[in-house]
Amino acid sequence: MTTNNIKIILDLCKKLNKYAHRLTLEDLQNDEACQAIPNLSLDTVKNVINEVQNRLKRGCKMYENEVIFHTGPHHDDIMLGIMPFINRQLRSRSNDISFGVMTSGFHSVTNKFLLDALKDTLRFIEEDRMLMIHYADFFTEGYKLKYDKDIHHFLDNVANRNQEECRRGLCHRIARDMVGIWGMKSVEELKETLQRTIVFVENFTEEVRKDPNPEVQTTIRHCQALKGEIREFEEELVWAYMGVSVDHVHHLHLGLYNRKTEFTGPDYDTDVFPVLDHLRYINPTVISVVMDAGDIRPDTHHKVLLSIAEAIEIWSQETDVSNVRIIGFRNVWSTFDPSTANTYVPVSLNSFAVFEKAFNTSYLTQVVAEFPNPNFDGTFCELAESIWVRQLRDVQLLLGKDFFYQNPSALVRATHGLILLNEMSVTDFLRIIKEKYAI
């Protein structure tokens, strides 16, 4: 099979430090793995090169007139996996693109970050720089409105290089979220709650976490909810860079994230039906999902994958999904190689620049990650870029560097990284889940 041959030939290229088109028949015949290939000849290498070119061609195609639903277990999973791929989709106004983040992600927000944000929110209120809280309806309905305005204010000041006003945009959102979570009814009550919560976070310890006092446990839950909504704000910021409005970024809050019992499969009410409701509402023609290696379980990525698959299976029984495509992707925790991916998406230096800027200014809680990758000393953004560069190097061994810099396509000539994906039908996706991923 050509797919297996891609790995065998790539491994040989690495071992001999040769490009594929320079391999000799003797090179092939002297390699133990190559010896197992039926009808081994130089045509074997040509077939591999042709298949790799086809996979790159598939990754270069433009998406038009599609309804696309990108999903991720946590905030930043989608961006770190496929942002340059999505940005090209967003350039066509004929596409309708939505995002679904399955968990709140509050574990990724440190108490220090929360504490600093609460103090700044209180400061802006005391300096009378948060005018919205004085509107007559703010504590009844107004706090729910103009979430897009917070995003726009923040990004305006990214452009203006005004960090203080960016911070004020975040604190506007925190004030709205706190009213929704704590249910305050006045400016004074908001200030008192901020002061009280600041003291609580400053003095938080593991002993406090275990305190059975209902008021303490309620405050912990409220702080976790606020941390989750900070992550939601970050996700909305990232896609607003490309003009995506808040109502196209969905936060599903699957129950699996908080469940403390052993995971034996998704719960229909809290894990599957929320995804199913969004599939029915969005009615996508393309769905992206994180598909980490099958031996990574039962972490959140795996739990979310099973929940999405179950929802897609139910959805497929009530609607025609014959033309729906599933895009499997990986990011900084698990990666494809050229033999296991069937679509190679070019990444330009321009895409690198947009990606870096969006990550570093939007994911405020992740510039210094609470849970960094143990195998890389740098930000998640830098790790993702290093993966794309490495993946390009592998494919260059198979196609040659000149294939890229002398290519008639400007898109290919501008390639300095590759994102590897698996595109499949719903039927194939569900089969793979049952064979490789199910518990």
Q: What local confidence, expressed as pLDDT, does residue 352 receive?
A: 96
Residue 379: pLDDT band with limits 50, 70, 90: confident
Domains, in order of start, for the chain? 2-55 (no CATH), 61-102+261-437 (3.40.50.10320), 111-231 (no CATH)
Strand partners, 100: 71, 250
Indicate whether 415 pLDDT > 60: yes
Phi, psi of 419 (to 5 degrees): -100, 130
For the segment 297-350, what is each residue's pLDDT rounded down to a tens digit? Answer: 558 889 999 999 999 999 999 999 999 999 999 988 888 999 999 999 999 999
DSSP string, 301-336: HHHHHHHHHHHHHHHHTTS--TT-EEEEE--SSS--
Closest to 158 measured CA to CA, from 414, 368, 364? 364
Distance, C-alpha 262 to centroid of its chain = 25
Give the tokens for residue 185: 């009814």
For the segment 292-310, what is each residue's pLDDT rounded down to a tens digit? Answer: 876 555 588 899 999 999 9
What percentage of residues in the chain have a pLDDT greater than 70?
A: 96
Strand 415-425 and strand 343-348: the pairing is: antiparallel
Poorest-pLDDT segment among 145-149, 267-271, 375-379: 375-379
- Distance of alpha carbon 212 from alpha carbon 374, whole angstroms: 34
Q: What local confidence, expressed as pLDDT, does residue 438 receive?
A: 62
Can you tell me which residue has the tokens 């900070």? Answer: 230
Q: What local confidence, expressed as pLDDT, does residue 297 receive?
A: 52
- Mean pLDDT, the chain, whole residue set: 93
Residue 268: pLDDT band with limits 50, 70, 90: very high
Q: How many CA atoms lie within 13 A of 99 on its CB side?
A: 32
Give the mean pLDDT of 34-63. 96
Give the mean pLDDT of 129-151. 93
- Distance of alpha carbon 313 from alpha carbon 426, whole angstroms: 8
Residue 290: pLDDT band with limits 50, 70, 90: very high
Q: How far separated are the first and last CA of the chain, in Å rounded?
A: 28
- Distance of alpha carbon 390 from alpha carbon 405, whole angstroms: 17
Give the mean pLDDT of 367-378. 62
> Do you know the residue count of the chain?
439
- Distance of alpha carbon 267 from alpha carbon 264, whole angstroms: 9
- Distance of alpha carbon 322 from alpha carbon 209, whole angstroms: 49
Closest to 1 measured CA to CA, from 42, 55, 38? 38
For the segment 235-251, what is each residue's pLDDT rounded down to a tens digit? Answer: 999 999 999 999 999 99
Indicate whether 144 pLDDT > 70: yes
Give the mean pLDDT of 113-121. 97
